[in-house]
Amino acid sequence: MEINITFPGGKRVNAQYGEFTIPTDQSVKAGGDSSAPEPFMYFLSSIGTCAGIYVLSFCQKNNIPTENITLTQRNEFVSDGPGKTRFARVNIDINVPKDFPEKYLDAIIRVADQCAVKKAIMSPPEFHIQTIRK
């Protein structure tokens, strides 16, 4: 899979794959226009949305209405020395209505735990970065 990164101006950086463009920008505080989420917010959001698609698919498969189901993701950061923080923990609550079937409470947690983004973080890839002159 290839993703092409382009610089459309200012502090904007776009990722393009197939027919999709994912725009990013920096906050005004960081010199951008805040015209799109910062790349790290896409990363954080990908964790919850990945868990969400597993929850959604599980509910659809089991004919469970999803209108009142939401996920809440809270990210924890810890200090790693003066002026440095580290992404330390992800907490995801699957909020279900009172009439959610009792027999599926544990199963829906196991399903969300199958998230491919979580698995990629748990077994991180190697990175190889190089410069190529064209």
Assess contact for 40 and 30: CB atoms under 8 A: no
Give the per-residue SS3 of 13-67.
EEEEECCEEEEECCCHHHCCCCCCCCHHHHHHHHHHHHHHHHHHHHHHHCCCCCC
What would the DSSP string read from start to end of 86-97? EEEEEEEEEE--
Please indicate, yes or no, whether the overall pTM of this predicted structure exceeds 0.85: yes
Q: Does residue 132 share a domain with residue 67? A: yes
- The predicted-structure confidence for 92-129, as pLDDT tens digits, reads as follows 999 999 999 999 999 999 999 999 999 999 999 999 99
Residue 52 has, within 13 A of its CA and on its CB side, a CA count of: 14
Instruction: Give the per-residue pLDDT at 81.
Output: 86
Are 49 and 24 part of one and the same domain?
A: no
Give mean pLDDT, residues 8-14.
98
Model confidence at 132, in pLDDT bands (50, 70, 90)? very high
125 and 60 co-located in one domain: yes
For residues 13 and 60, membership in a common domain is answered with no
Model confidence over 15-53: pLDDT tens digits?
A: 999 999 999 999 999 999 999 999 999 999 999 999 999
Residues 80 and 105 grouped into a single domain: yes
What's the pLDDT at 38? 97
Q: Examine the domain organization and report whether 19 and 81 are in the same domain.
A: no
Please choose, from the candidates 114, 96, 4, the residue with its C-alpha nearest in 3D space to the C-alpha of residue 51.
114
* Pair 106, 62 in one domain: yes
In this structure, are 61 and 10 located in the same domain? no
If asked whether residues 43 and 22 sit together in one domain, one would say no
Q: Is residue 100 domain-shared with residue 49, that is, in the same domain? A: yes
Residue 88, C-beta contacts closer than 8 angstroms, at least 6 positions apart: 76, 77, 78
* 85 and 67 fall within a common domain: yes
Q: How many domains does the chain have?
A: 2
Looking up residue 80, the CATH number of its domain turns out to be 3.30.300.20
pLDDT at 7: 98
Range(s) of the domain holding residue 50: 38-134
The structure tokens listed for 85 are: 């923080």
Q: Do 25 and 89 fall into the same domain?
A: no
CA distance 58 to 110: 10
Residue 53 confidence (pLDDT): 98
Q: What pLDDT, in 10s, does the model give residues 42-97?
A: 999 999 999 999 999 999 999 999 999 999 999 999 998 898 999 999 999 999 99
Best CA proximity match to 102, nearest among 66, 48, 73, 64: 64
Q: 120, 46 in Cβ contact below 8 A?
A: no
